[in-house]
Amino acid sequence: MCSSTKRRLSRSSGFTLVELLVVIAIIGVLVGLLLPAVQGAREAARRMQCSNNMKQLGLALHNYHSAFKVFPANVGAKASGNPNRGASWLVQILPQIEQSSLYDKLTFVDTDFSTQDGANRNWEVLDDAIVPGLNCPSNDLPNFRENTANGPTQALGAPEVYMTQVVDYVGVIGYYFTPGKRSGDAGYTPGARSDGSRNVWTGYGWMQDAGVLGIHNSKFRNTRFASIIDGTSNTIAIGEHSAEMVHADGNRTDSRPSSHAGGAWNAGPAFHGWLGWTANITVPRWPINSIYSGNYTQRYGYTLHNGFRSNHPGGAMFTMGDGSVQFITDSVDFDDVFMAMNGRNDRYSYNQEF
């Protein structure tokens, strides 16, 4: 073969610039088409894991009830002025979620789980303690918060700052608006019950005693299966709050009900008659994934109406009183259906697909 033929073959064996650009363009189009599908598959997997987390919590509630004949509750102080903040409902179910070793190390006498007023005798046990299954995989928020140890806690050897877990699942203790009623109707008052005796304005929102979970103090007591007269499959026990709350101006805040002092383990003072703030529970007042309304009772981890939100497109995950898990869309009828779903004995019947 002559040298000129070899040169022609050599020149024709590679890609031209135009061909290379066409290939790159095709690859770019394919990536653009495939990426949403890949992201959708990843989100589907994360949502399934979140659903499994909440299923395990539902089983834990039932196992707790089997052992103690009541559902768990935030433990509040028995009297006003008691500096000790009690343990949250999440602490109560630690043995039921395979965390007995952590639970057995805790002390419940003369201790403040928030480290705000009294001494937190559990600071060392809870410092950096991480319980699997209490955070949604779609959550992009920090799963720990810094706690400033007060003087009595530092006297026990605590550093100035220690860490506690922040979780993405919140107990439901009732509803804000009476389902099935409108402004001007008898019984429409926010938080009203049929006899009106179980409403308490705490300064941080309306405290209801109408959910599967609740407060245990001098007035309120743990819920039993028998008191869920609307049916356990119709009543929400736990909701998801695993995303930032978006403000109208685009700002975002972490308003998860466990994002306050003490994280997941603190119940707050929650005493009666002046109830005070509490944590890790909610009385929903605004729709799922709603934009910040400007009302302070929606914004902070220690306020009662911060509700539910998630990074799952279109809604959030919920554990029902029977232990089943449902994905409820943010387009659900809020005033009647969703309010009724948060109450155990409102006697409002609904029939809606989510």
In a domain, 62, yes or no: yes
In a domain, 163, yes or no: yes
Q: What is the model's pLDDT at position 2?
A: 52
Q: What is the model's pLDDT at position 62?
A: 98
CB 160 within 8 A of CB 148: yes
Q: What is the model's pLDDT at position 3?
A: 52
Q: What is the model's pLDDT at position 191?
A: 65
In a domain, 292, yes or no: yes
Q: What is the DSSP track for 246-279?
A: EPTTS-EE---TT-STTGGGEEE---SSS-----
| Other Cβ atoms within 10 Å of 153 Cβ, number | 25
Selection from 247, 223, 228 nearest residue 309 by Cα: 247
Q: What is the model's pLDDT at position 1?
A: 52
In a domain, 208, yes or no: yes
In a domain, 26, yes or no: no
Buried b (16+ CB within 10 A) or exposed e, 302-320: bbbbbbbbbbbeebbbbbb
Question: pTM here?
Answer: 0.87
Q: What is the model's pLDDT at position 84?
A: 80
In a domain, 190, yes or no: yes
Q: What is the model's pLDDT at position 217?
A: 87
Separate counts of helices (H) and strands (E) for the chain: 7, 15
Range of the domain at 76: 44-341
Q: What is the model's pLDDT at position 35?
A: 64
Q: What is the model's pLDDT at position 219?
A: 83
In a domain, 347, yes or no: no
Q: What is the model's pLDDT at position 54?
A: 97
> Which residues lie closer than 8 Å to 3 by C-beta, 6 or more apart?
none
Domain count, the chain: 1
In a domain, 155, yes or no: yes
Task: Please list the pLDDT of the chain residue by residue as tens digits (354 residues).
Answer: 555 555 554 555 667 877 777 788 888 777 777 666 556 678 889 999 999 999 999 999 999 999 999 999 999 887 777 778 899 999 999 999 999 999 999 999 999 999 888 999 999 999 989 999 999 999 999 999 999 999 999 999 999 999 999 999 999 999 988 888 776 777 666 766 655 667 788 889 988 889 999 899 888 889 999 999 999 999 999 999 999 999 999 999 999 999 999 999 999 888 876 677 889 999 999 999 999 999 999 999 999 999 999 999 999 999 999 999 999 999 999 989 999 999 998 888 777 666
